[in-house]
Structure 1
């Protein structure tokens, strides 16, 4: 019997037992209790700062926000056994809400199922049961939220969003889950004071790691959904209207060729649209969740980003490097390689070395990742990377630039030419098409669309 079926049979029920809200003058802490019946109990928690004078006592909208964050958090623990029944004892869910959560979990766990060889059915992989009850969570409180909350991850995308909005005169505060040097460095480079960064603290229950070490199911989960719900809470506490993400059109592309498996599902437009509708129907905070960079590709973002060189010394996009302090470019993963490739048309060889601390493009250990990124493998790396087409465009432009400057091509670009992939006659047309594209599948309010279009015209 496969691990998946064995665990489901032995641990048939996962329970979201409760959430509790503890409030002080300066913070709100939300604690959760999850249980895999017969195996383990988990108690993760979050701590959110709040302005003086703000209280969530008897606030039924905040209750709903807290419960929803728990639903997003729970999947990280549920996946250990993939129990066939998920029982929410502390909140009521309509049939439509159950469908919403099942879709998020199934699509967001696509990589986990693929990597672990699990054949999961979208209808039967879990049955969500809610046994709790809720009063109406409509509130008579009058709210007039305003201003922007910009989640900052430390990478180029959120830096570009923040810089563009700041330059347009938008009133912005920044948000992060925990804090890393690249995040605080981005805020500082943008010219904002330290208190412009609002940090929520996520306290992960480490007993899940112990289960992973014992062989229970592990893998990628839809973390950006956690970002979405926690950002909703932060914006609510601080009276902010717009939650401005920095997810791009490239996040919509499947990671596995020919299959609906997307490492970046919770960064996709499909999730953005679904979350936006969920907020309007079930949370009703008056806030507006959207991605400012959704109309753009990673290639366009990279080209615009490099015009703001003040961020080059501080930005980081390496998931492995973010786990050490201070966060670094590890220089050995596909994400580091992707960022190096997408910036390569716009930065000199020396500038790239300064960013990453090594010559990524001459590293033979990067060859396998390179082959995946240019579409010469059955799947892209399971990382937040751009589309195959734009990686090929970036590589082609970089090859042409290097050859025109009379430099020797790096090892990876030599490999590209040996494979017959370099077609200089097509580069200008592809570059023009890519730089001029504007994906209309987006939720940008008109004023933000105008800001982005003006910045594109100025920089592209």
Structure 2
């Protein structure tokens, strides 16, 4: 089966949520975005109907990118095109090509660049407006993982006021469970205010792919980029000028270079500094003129993040990062990597209490650890660190006296190579890259000694 056209059928703005209808040829789908503490009627009165329609049209456009997993020929955006400007179509293609490299690779697609974007109504024009108010509080994303809590701990210790933004998504399971888990993480900090976004998506929630496209590797979505546009509603409502996420420097490195298409494949491209800067500039130029988006952890690698996290042993029992089964499935690359980093720097009794097993001894994870160490075709398609970073973390685990089959394999295949310059590797990953980030200067000055 081949899909010819994906289409935005409708976009409805209700009092507390957006209801977006899509079509993929004869199939129909719905994405609902709920804002738990936003009144859209009040927001429209505060700003204007056209502005809110423009913001929500951008959300609908990028939420629709997940349907590009079907490799459609066309993307029909006629329903919302009057609320969009020409540059957003160029941005869409740029984001698509950055995020979907892995999907191309997994499906061995070498001759598909992007769907042709079509529309029967004329495109609108850019009219950036100012976020009203003088709120110096930073809206800070919290996904429940190590990066989120460390970012908020840094802001709190620097006495920079912040509000938390958490969202659940159908792809990760029940919304209530996700929000409960994030709430446990937030108990370790004191945000000025806590916001919730809940996304219900039947395209990812139903067994559509398994039944109709079993040969396809699955659904890819531009999760981070679309969340930036979804956060704009909260920023308008709360008068926030700064949006802070917690993406580390490792996100800038791809999993492999695919010679077939002559470019790098990076599972984390949507979190990269390149993506961050493109999205930040676009929003400021075309939507909200006094908006600023940045990652507070961009100056450091995971190696230093795990090291800094060890100062807060109380958070280990509350954080989670697994995308398969929350809080931890203990079988995926993400679980294995976070386990590795936590064991390298944190009290192993605290980590053992959470995982209740030695993942280094798990037979199913041995191929995963080999991939992390650069002993396979590419690193795992997950949000994890670089090859040398994983090697350095394993070395730290051995130095702590830890044991397990993965560590034995590392000692035999990697540590036995005396040509490796471990001092130079540690200097790279333990360094603070004070110029390679987009953090506003006045904020960086306050948090740099926390990095």
The TM-score, its normalising length taken from structure 1, stands at: 0.86
Deviations 1:239-288 (CA, angstroms, capped at 9, x unpaired): 11111000011011111245511111111111101101110111125221
Q: Is the 8 A contact 2:131 2:236 kept in 1?
A: no
2:164 alignment partner, SS class = strand
Q: Which residue in the other structure is 2:32 paired with?
A: 45
203-212 or 378-387, larger mean C-alpha shift? 203-212
d(CA) in 1 for partners of 2:354, 2:200: 31
d(CA) in 2 for partners of 1:140, 1:446: 21
Q: Is the 8 A contact 2:128 2:285 kept in 1?
A: no
Q: Which residue in the other structure is 1:440 paired with?
A: 435
Q: Which residue in the other structure is 1:363 paired with?
A: 362
Question: 2:118 aligned with 1:129, yes or no?
Answer: yes
Q: Which residue in the other structure is 2:337 paired with?
A: 338
Q: Is the 8 A contact 1:91 1:130 kept in 2?
A: yes
Question: 2:112 aligned with 1:108, yes or no?
Answer: no
- The CA deviation at 1:131 is 3.0
Question: 2:43 aligned with 1:55, yes or no?
Answer: yes
- The CA deviation at 1:445 is 0.4
332-341 or 356-365, larger mean C-alpha shift? 356-365
Match of 2:313 among 305, 309, 315: 309
Match of 2:56 among 61, 66, 76: 66
Question: 2:195 aligned with 1:198, yes or no?
Answer: yes
**Residues 135 and 391 (structure 1), Cα distance of their counterparts in 2 relative to 1, 3 Å cut:** closer
d(CA) in 2 for partners of 1:219, 1:239: 34
Give 5+ residue unaligned stretches, structure 2: 169-177
d(CA) in 2 for partners of 1:378, 1:208: 31
Q: Is the 8 A contact 1:236 1:285 kept in 2?
A: no
d(CA) in 1 for partners of 2:131, 2:252: 37
Match of 2:77 among 88, 104, 107: 88
Q: Which residue in the other structure is 1:325 paired with?
A: none
Q: Is the 8 A contact 1:149 1:172 kept in 2?
A: yes
d(CA) in 2 for partners of 1:76, 1:351: 38
Give 5+ residue unaligned stretches, structure 1: 1-5, 323-327
Q: Which residue in the other structure is 2:171 paired with?
A: none
310-319 or 284-293, larger mean C-alpha shift? 284-293
d(CA) in 1 for partners of 2:341, 2:130: 49
The TM-score, its normalising length taken from structure 2, stands at: 0.88
- The CA deviation at 1:139 is 4.8
2:328 alignment partner, SS class = coil
d(CA) in 1 for partners of 2:60, 2:17: 12
- The CA deviation at 1:140 is 8.2
Q: Is the 8 A contact 1:248 1:296 kept in 2?
A: yes
Q: Is the 8 A contact 2:95 2:275 kept in 1?
A: yes
Deviations 1:286-338 (CA, angstroms, capped at 9, x unpaired): 2211111011101111111111112111000111122xxxxx21111111110
Q: How does 1:275-286 map to 2 (within 5 A)?
A: 275-284=279-288, 286=290
d(CA) in 2 for partners of 1:141, 1:331: 43
Q: Is the 8 A contact 2:300 2:431 kept in 1?
A: no
1:344 alignment partner, SS class = helix
Q: Which residue in the other structure is 1:454 paired with?
A: 449
Q: Is the 8 A contact 2:130 2:288 kept in 1?
A: no
- The CA deviation at 1:398 is 1.8
Q: Is the 8 A contact 1:47 1:201 kept in 2?
A: yes
- The CA deviation at 1:116 is 1.5
Deviations 1:379-407 (CA, angstroms, capped at 9, x unpaired): 111111111111111111221231xxxx6
Kindly report the root-mean-square deviation, in angstroms, between the aligned alpha carbons of the 2 structures.
2.4
- The CA deviation at 1:17 is 2.8
**Residues 107 and 192 (structure 1), Cα distance of their counterparts in 2 relative to 1, 3 Å cut:** closer
Question: 2:391 aligned with 1:396, yes or no?
Answer: no
1:35 alignment partner, SS class = strand
Question: 2:86 aligned with 1:99, yes or no?
Answer: no
Q: How does 1:398-417 map to 2 (within 5 A)?
A: 398-402=397-401, 409-417=403-411
Question: 2:22 aligned with 1:34, yes or no?
Answer: yes
d(CA) in 2 for partners of 1:254, 1:439: 22
- The CA deviation at 1:361 is 1.4
- The CA deviation at 1:221 is 2.1
- The CA deviation at 1:106 is 2.0
d(CA) in 2 for partners of 1:441, 1:140: 28
Q: Is the 8 A contact 1:111 1:219 kept in 2?
A: no
d(CA) in 1 for partners of 2:126, 2:98: 30
**Residues 130 and 278 (structure 1), Cα distance of their counterparts in 2 relative to 1, 3 Å cut:** farther
Q: Is the 8 A contact 1:177 1:199 kept in 2?
A: yes
1:43 alignment partner, SS class = strand
- The CA deviation at 1:211 is 2.5
- The CA deviation at 1:167 is 1.3
Q: How does 1:100-249 map to 2 (within 5 A)?
A: 100-122=91-113, 125-133=114-122, 134=124, 137-139=127-129, 142-178=132-168, 179-192=178-191, 196-206=193-203, 209-216=206-213, 217=216, 218-249=218-249
- The CA deviation at 1:94 is 4.2
Q: Is the 8 A contact 1:111 1:263 kept in 2?
A: yes
